[in-house]
Structure 1
Amino acid sequence: MLDFALVLLLVLLNGVFALSELAVVSARRSRLRAMAAAGRPGASAALALAEEPGRFLSTVQIGITLVGVLAGAFSGAALGGHLGAWLAGLGLPPGGAEPLGFGLVVALVTYLSIVVGELAPKRLALRHAEALACAVAPAMTIISRIAAPAGWLLDASTDLVFRLLGRAEAPQERVTEDDLRALVAEAELAGTIEATERRMIAGVLRLGNRPVRGVMTPRGEVDWLDATAGEAAARAMLMRTAHSRLPVGEGSTEAMLGVVQARELLSALLAGQPLDLRVAARQAPVVPDTADALDVLATLRAAEVPVALVHDEHGHFEGIVTPTDLTEAIIGALRSDAEPDEELPAVRREDGSWLLAGWMPVDEMAEVLGIALPEERGYQTAAGFVLAVAGRLPRVGEAVEARGWHFEVVDLDGRRIDKLLASPVRAAVAPAARRAGSGPPAG
């Protein structure tokens, strides 16, 4: 029994090395840093081991190899002989009892090594990586120092092999946006966060990638006051608009004076005072249409009025952006009392197709349809995507195919694509629609 207990101890020691290896390698460094900052014992040592995985893995491999050699040699020499003698005592021929005993011992030790020494510890390490890494790190640090010369030799030899393969530099640890999206989706499936929270986080990530022209209210949809049109025109606009702040122009939108508070103008009208839009106009920041949306958010915080005038590189007025525009990019469009019938950007149909609004942000469309878009692109809406693919304005009923989807123009509002029907290519009825454009998606 003493011999068997010694073999079992060696198998358990192998399991400790296997658990330590996978726990330290699998532990997220961000979690280890947070645990170290909170004073968790062993977290700093685990982080130090994770920062130098080459030497740590060399040390662990030395331990696993030595334990495996000792367990194999001892089990074969001691347990194999004892079991062979016991089988011979049962009446088996000596020529067959010894090989059979040796074989049975090898099979048993191999089974224990796989289950107890490898699989169970590694599965445990995957479930509790950070906690176990903190627990084993102090002991592993001491072993690493003791085995430092051998570990250095193995690590240097491994680096030499990588150099011969042309892969000398180790990849830097980085978390991509796709990693964040996958982590958030996993958290939603696990019930850690709600679906609404996931959508808001996705909205924040989308906002970080959008230029201001992707969130602004375009020029054609801006309610503005003309300082040269007279008081009657201003009254009519104030009665018609639902906005609390309006830009003021000197005859046209190309000569913007600033932004006025509708409340102040209404107060002046109720008090019987004359309207002077030039005096009431407050200075508004001017931002280029290529500016990042998050940078514009900082500009709005510091502005006298939270409205920015968006201009292109030639100085032409393109639209306005407000905190509401930025908020809607995160949480979705808000239905106001003034617009109770405002359309949804995407509606799923029973046949699996999607009815899309032309103004739908193209990154939201890509998320809904599950397609990838190029990082550098010159369009910001679903309509712009179709125009880029077609290379011209398609007629109603015309369609294009891109990214595995069939996009049919359902409705036009003048020269603007108002509605699109998106169907998977395999399900699209293409013969009735003529493809508008044959080149790959632009941008």
Structure 2
Amino acid sequence: MSAAARFDRGHTDDLMSFLAASPTPYHAVANAAERLEKAGFRQVAETDAWDGTSGGKYVLRGGAIVAWYVPEGAAAHTPFRVVGAHTDSPNLRVKPRPDTGAHGWRQIAVEIYGGPLMNSWLDRDLGLAGRLSLRDGTTRLVDVDRPLLRVPQLAIHMDRNVSADGLKLDKQRHLQPVWGLGDTVRDGDLIAFLEDEAGLARGEVTGWDLMTHSVEPPAYLGRDRELVAGPRMDNLLSVHAGTAALAAVATSGGELPYLPVLAAFDHEETGSQSDTGADGPLLGSVLERSVFARGGTYEDRARAFAGTVCLSSDTGHAVHPNYAERHDPTHHPRVNGGPILKVNVNNRYATDGSGRAVFAAACEKAGVPFQTFVSNNSMPCGTTIGPITAARHGISTVDIGVAILSMHSARELCGAEDPHLLANALGSFLQP
């Protein structure tokens, strides 16, 4: 293994800080933008005219960020190298009328976002975070990162069959968290509370996008601290690695045959069909405008897209020691074994042989080992933003990621070395 790929615990420490500071997609993109700003990137507004000057640039839209670096002298038809990821994770999100309760308990009405392992949200201390929309048209991020909510599980004494029949949760009735006591439900209590938390005047908040999160911080785990337990690794682990890789490439000063890009989308867990999702126009619009800002024509745009490659980076499944039969018998990705290449011939993943060669070359240059994941034929295969990106923009796309356990749990598990190995592979891909 090359010196560049040796385990850097500092990278994993920084990932843990990033996870803790990013309880929502809005916080995640703000934190990514802050890291890019330190590397010399500057924010550009989609409503402004863009210029073709060199340097690092990024746009923010809701819970999505697209950042790119224009090398000196880049031609209008220069292809892109894109790292794709997503910022959202399954959780419990606050409904439009949040204040509810019964039998002396004050509760918050929530809706299920994505496909969480619902049992993992029971009896867990939860905070509340998100985006507040204000009367003056601006927004404010809020994060109550302390024990505020809890979804209490029914005692076994009142459900004697749970051990034999398994836990069965009704999404509407059984997952509404408690946050206090009181016999009277008062509309506006939660938003008034959050206005106080954010230092806002009462009545200033007119809209909100709020979600729960576990307040237990990420932590090293295991005899030798070779594992990391934490929230939202699916898929902030990839967002963090992509941000680190892009910042490193932009500050390296070397020549670049491509324009390196980070595209971190929202709403992957619900199908990507939104203005900030991978199935929306955001990435295509940014790449096209970059071509045209450098004096390009539609022909230049077509040439640039034809030579573009995207690595769609998302977490995947490590072999589970208690359920190994659920995996393909010849493909058992292990934690700390390096990033995984995801393959599915039915295009649930976008990888083909040419894409494998691109990823293999990047890993070889970085001195990073990689593994291959393919689903057991008897089980349905998940999907990612990879096939969406390939189909929507006509660009070659490869699905990769880091192997983890407990995917879609409120708290997931990965190897402590894999995040750094992924970042090294992404950096090599962005600067071949």
Computing the radius of gyration from Cα coordinates, the structure with the larger value is: 1
- Provide TM-score, normalisation by structure 1: 0.21
Task: Please report the TM-score for the alignment, with normalisation by the length of structure 2.
Answer: 0.22
- Return the structure number with greater helix share: 1
Name which structure has the greater RCO, CA cutoff 8 Å, separation 6+.
Answer: 2
More strand by share: 2
